[in-house]
Amino acid sequence: MAMTPRGGFDWAAAGRASLRCLCLAAALTPLAAQNDRPPAEALASLQERGRLIALYLQAVDKAADLLKAQGSGASPSDRTVVIPDREGWRVIYVGDSSRDLAASGMVRKGLSIVAETTFSPDAGQLGTLGLASPPRTASATIQSYVRSLEQAEIATIGRPEGGRPLLEAVVREKDATFTVYVISQQKEGGERDVAAGMGGSVLFGRDFMVRIAASGRQVLSVEKLHDRNTSMSLQPRAPGTPLLHEHDQGDLPAPTDVALVLRHRVLAPLLVLTPRFMFRIDAEGAVTWLGPNPNPKPATSQGAGPASPGRADAP
């Protein structure tokens, strides 16, 4: 059940009836209006990017568990980065070498690799954990990934919708720039009360897409992907009973919507209502266009609505 940040109900029993009415209205929309639909390529790009974000988050989660279970002899790790490529995904635990190498008598400054493993996106499994003893200097590529995450955090952490804890995923685009998705799960007082009452929830709406230069040092743009926050219950529902998530701007769901559904599959099916369209996100991350919004909202100035999910041609 969706809740507002102030703890009020968005959809109770009457809300479920409204969902049924919305679906019925969409089904009865004249066929001529069905031609006004988002391009199939846009939905495919959205799905691909959302799934990539979800896999990145899964790899980081599993890497944390692996290090906790097997990394008792590892040097301290400050951050984990995942580098997807066509030959397999690298999962790299990065630390501060100037601090970690004091015992070895080696003097080097900068980032170092303290451990490494691999991740199979198809199987969702990690490989063997390899410890670096002593830690070795991180390559320029790895350092640029780390810097891009740091710059994205700096650019968003002080904003009203920012704040830790954070979920983060970084994608290197074909032009060598980075796109970082920063999803804040910081709940304010009212949101914490709502989450407690729900017995578990996930927060939608506190997310950003940050574009970073190829060096990892320069922020090119910061885009807020939502303009409202909504807590979604993680409690089981009757089969097929959807949750509703509304966007006030933009024509498409955000790629982070897809990623959060894949991360918490109990949220599926999730109906996403944009000012012009209705969509369904299923438990596999597939985004289906259901038709025009039966109650379209007037166009507003460009702002928080998601524009593009990033480049679908990223590795």
Distance (Å, whole) CA 264 – CA 16:
21
> What's the pLDDT at 8?
42
Averaged pLDDT of the chain: 83
| Residue 110 binned pLDDT confidence (cut-offs 50, 70, 90) | confident
- Whole-model pTM? 0.81
Please report, rounded to a whole number, the percentage of residues in the chain having pLDDT higher than 90. 60
* DSSP 3-state of 303: coil
User: Judging by beta carbons within 10 Å of its beta carbon (0-12, 13-18, 19+), is residue 69 exposed, middle or buried?
Assistant: exposed
pLDDT at residue 80, as a whole number: 96
Structure tokens at 190: 């009212």
Report residue 304's pLDDT band, with 50, 70 and 90 as the boundaries: very low
179 Cβ contact list (under 8 Å, min separation 6): 170, 171, 173, 209, 210, 211, 212, 310, 311, 314
What pLDDT shows up at residue 314? 55
Identify the band that residue 189 occupies on the pLDDT scale cut at 50, 70 and 90.
Answer: low
Taking Cα atoms as reference points, which of 188, 148, 191, 187 lies closest to residue 168? 148
Percent of residues, the chain, with pLDDT higher than 70 = 75
Please compute the mean of the pLDDT values over residues 79-103 and round it to a whole number: 80
The two tokens of residue 239 are: 């089969």
**Closest residue by Cα to residue 249 from 293, 197, 307:** 307
Q: Which of 112-116, 173-177, 184-188 has the lowest mean pLDDT?
A: 184-188
pLDDT band, residue 295 (cuts 50/70/90): confident
Identify the CA nearest to 272 among candidates 301, 230, 210: 230
Task: Choose among 81, 80, 76: nearest CA to 96.
Answer: 76
